[in-house]
Structure formats: structure tokens, C-alpha cells
């Protein structure tokens, strides 16, 4: 069988006619090279020769907006800037402009809630690993439909599993790069064991992080204990939580061996999509009494209140 060679118009027609998985979740997107926003998910394409695609040479951020307001926009932009600087990547537009692009795409999505995916790549230009192939960095902003989890997610808590995948090396862990293959493998392994959330540990047996979440425990003394971030990314939710509980709950940053998960009052996951949720079962053992505790509930309440008070409106008040 011979593969047909199509004209430009035929290819465009094929693109528009071919369904793609998950297209119903895509609300709007922007690509810097084109300079426009589109709401047709079948046109959401990324050049194969962008080094972000074939070399993992890029960084990203995931944000959340709810009730017409985007949460921690400045914190995410600051981390995006740090990640770009760490790999010598200059975004194609200043961060102040990227900020406006994010707001524009959110507004174009036409819904009050959504997830925002911002990617900055080395850019298209070739298929080697040499960045000199790329005359200009790439920028993509995608808004996806956000379906809030039911309340029972927080009321019942979640199950976590220790995976065999090691955490990223310290020099890479602090960069939010698009190289998430270890994270994908962590997720696969946890799901294979009937758990939704994986936890990884460093070579000394100390807790590092989840696939896309930070982890914390409440120890016997009532301290909120954060594992050392040598092999973990400091999440915007974790960082904000630490500020919100100041003066209310003591915060300690130190190594956390696995045994402490079983003796902890509570084990918590923190992230953009979940706020704070309790781990009530680790591997096959109940932890934290087998039910969400008061600290998990308190952290979620604080984050919800902070979002209502300080999130950035998508539309300027008239």
C-alpha cells in the first residue's frame, strides 16, 4: 500500500476533519509564531521540530482559574522565569506580555473555570540537540476545561503508593521542565497497584514528592513537616500554604524517612488542582487514622479563602 502525498489544502482539510482524543476539553490556545488565539482544538498543533517536543528542551507551568479569577498568577510566572533562566532559555516575549497572553486566552475560553498550561520551548528549527538550530523560542498557552472534584474526594481522602522510580537529581528537580517521563512512570506504577497518587523516595530512603504534588506530614508534636526539597520541586501551593499557616501551625523542613508516614497524625498532598488532600492509605496500610484529619481540612480552607481574596480577575472591574 502506498501512502498518499497530499497538497497543503488537502492536509488542512484532513486536520480539520480528523477527531482527536480529548478535544472536548480544549477551550482556547495561543501560539507565539502565529500570534493569534484559536478555539478550534483541531488546529492546536505543535511543530515536530520544536526542541521542546523531540528533546524535552523546555519548561512549563500549570495554573488554575475559578469563578473568573486566576490563582497565584505572579507566583507561577516567577517560577517560569526561574526555570527559563536555569536552562538558558529566553522566552519569545517578556514575562509581562506572557502574563497578558495568559489572561487573554483565559478570557477567550469563555468559561469561568479552567486549567491553564503555559509552555516555553527552545523553539523549532531542527532535529539535533544543538540549541543553535532554534532562532527563536516558542510559547504556547492552552486553556482546558476544569471539572471540579466532588466533595467526597476531600471527605474520604486518597490512597498513595511507594514507587520504584527514584526522584530527579537535585540539579534538575528544581526546574519545572517538560521532561516528565519519570513522573509518568511513577503514575503508571501507582495506578497498577490501585492507587491514584505515587510517592518517591531518595537513595537514603527519605520522602521526596509525588508525580505532580508536594507531600507533607503532621508529626506527633503537631508540626507540619515538609520533606527536604533536595529532590523535589517547591510547588506554588506548598509555598503559599507555608505562608498561610505562619503563626498558626509550626512548620519544619527536614528529612522524612518512610517509617514516619505510618506513625504520622496526617499525611498530605498539596498541588494546584487539589489544594490539600489527606492520604488515608499508604500502600496497603491505613495512615493518619484512616480518615482525613483537621490539618488537611484547615489547609484546604485557608487556600480556598486565599483564592477568593487574592486571585487575579480575568476581567478588570468597570
The C-alpha atoms of residue 289 and residue 266 are separated, in whole angstroms, by 8
187 is catalytic: no
* Total count of residues recorded for the chain: 318
- The region, left, alpha or beta by phi > 0 then psi within -120 to 50, assigned to residue 35 is left
Residues with Cβ within 8 Å of residue 4, at least 6 apart in sequence? none
Burial of 11 (0-12, 13-18, 19+ CB in 10 A): exposed
DSSP state of 197: E
Select which of 176, 187, 230, 239 is catalytic: 176
DSSP string, 73-115: HHHHHHHHHHHHHHTT---SS-HHHHHHHHHHHHHHHTSS-EE
Sign of CA dihedral 166, 168, 174, 180: negative
Q: Which residues are catalytic?
A: 176
Amino acid at each position: 500500500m502506498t501512502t498518499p502525498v497530499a497538497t497543503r489544502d488537502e492536509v488542512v482539510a484532513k486536520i480539520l476533519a480528523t477527531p482527536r482524543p480529548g478535544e472536548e476539553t480544549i477551550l482556547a490556545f495561543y501560539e507565539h509564531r502565529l500570534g493569534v488565539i484559536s478555539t478550534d482544538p483541531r488546529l492546536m498543533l505543535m511543530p515536530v521540530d520544536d526542541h521542546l517536543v523531540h528533546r524535552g528542551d523546555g519548561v512549563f507551568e500549570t495554573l488554575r482559574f475559578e469563578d473568573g479569577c486566576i490563582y497565584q498568577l505572579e507566583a507561577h510566572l516567577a517560577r517560569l522565569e526561574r526555570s527559563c533562566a536555569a536552562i538558558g532559555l529566553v522566552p519569545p516575549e517578556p514575562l509581562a506580555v506572557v502574563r497578558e497572553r495568559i489572561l487573554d486566552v483565559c478570557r477567550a475560553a469563555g468559561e469561568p473555570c479552567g486549567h491553564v498550561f503555559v509552555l516555553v520551548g527552545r523553539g523549532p528549527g531542527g532535529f539535533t540537540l544543538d540549541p543553535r538550530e532554534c532562532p527563536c523560542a516558542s510559547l504556547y498557552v492552552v486553556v482546558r476545561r476544569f471539572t471540579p472534584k466532588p466533595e467526597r474526594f476531600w471527605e474520604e481522602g486518597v490512597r498513595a503508593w511507594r514507587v520504584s522510580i527514584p526522584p530527579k537529581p537535585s540539579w534538575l528537580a528544581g526546574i519545572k521542565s517538560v521532561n516528565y517521563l519519570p513522573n509518568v512512570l511513577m503514575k503508571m506504577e501507582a495506578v497498577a497497584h490501585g492507587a491514584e497518587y505515587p510517592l518517591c523516595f531518595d537513595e537514603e530512603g527519605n520522602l521526596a514528592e509525588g508525580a505532580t504534588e508536594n507531600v507533607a506530614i503532621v508529626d506527633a508534636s503537631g508540626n507540619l513537616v515538609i520533606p527536604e526539597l533536595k529532590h523535589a520541586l517547591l510547588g506554588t501551593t506548598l509555598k503559599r500554604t507555608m505562608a498561610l499557616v505562619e503563626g498558626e501551625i509550626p512548620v519544619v523542613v527536614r528529612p522524612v524517612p518512610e517509617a514516619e508516614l505510618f506513625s504520622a497524625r496526617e499525611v498530605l498532598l498539596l498541588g494546584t488542582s487539589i489544594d490539600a488532600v489527606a492520604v488515608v492509605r499508604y500502600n496497603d496500610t491505613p495512615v493518619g487514622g484512616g480518615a482525613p484529619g483537621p490539618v488537611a481540612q484547615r489547609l484546604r480552607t485557608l487556600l480556598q479563602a486565599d483564592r477568593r481574596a487574592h486571585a487575579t480577575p480575568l476581567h478588570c472591574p468597570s
